[in-house]
Amino acid sequence: MDNVSPEIASSIVAAGIRTNYHDLGSGHPLLLIHGSGPGVSAWANWRLVMPGLARQARVIAPDMVGFGFTERPAGQRYDMDAWVAQAVGLLDALGIERTDLVGNSFGGALALALAIRHPRRVRRLVLMGSVGVPFEITPGLDAVWGYTPSFENMRAIMDYFAWDRSLVNDELAQLRYEASIRPGFQESFAAMFPAPRQRWVDAMASREADIRALPHETLVIHGRDDRVIPLLTSLTLADWISRAQLHVFGRCGHWTQIEHAARFARLVGDFLAEAGDDEPKPLN
* Residues acting as catalytic residues: 105, 226, 254
Residues 35 and 45 sit within 8 Å (Cβ to Cβ): yes
Task: Give backbone dihedrals phi and psi of 42, rounded to 5 degrees, phi first.
Answer: -60, -40
Distance between CA atoms of residues 74 and 51, nearest Å = 34
- CA-CA distances (angstroms) from residue 112 to 136, 162, 218? 19, 24, 10
Instruction: Residue count of the chain, please give it.
Output: 284
The DSSP annotation for 180-214 comes to HTSTTHHHHHHHHSPSSTHHHHHHHPPPHHHHHT-
- CB count in 10 Å sphere of residue 119: 17
What DSSP element (H or E) covers 274? none
In sequence order, the 6+-apart residues with CB closer than 8 A to the CB of 204 are: 80, 106, 109, 110, 113, 131, 132
* DSSP conformation class of 228: S
**The CA-based dihedral angle spanning residues 24, 26, 30, 35, taken in that order and rounded to the nearest 10 degrees:** -10
For residues 62, 64, 67, 71, the Cα torsion angle rounded to the nearest 10 degrees is 90
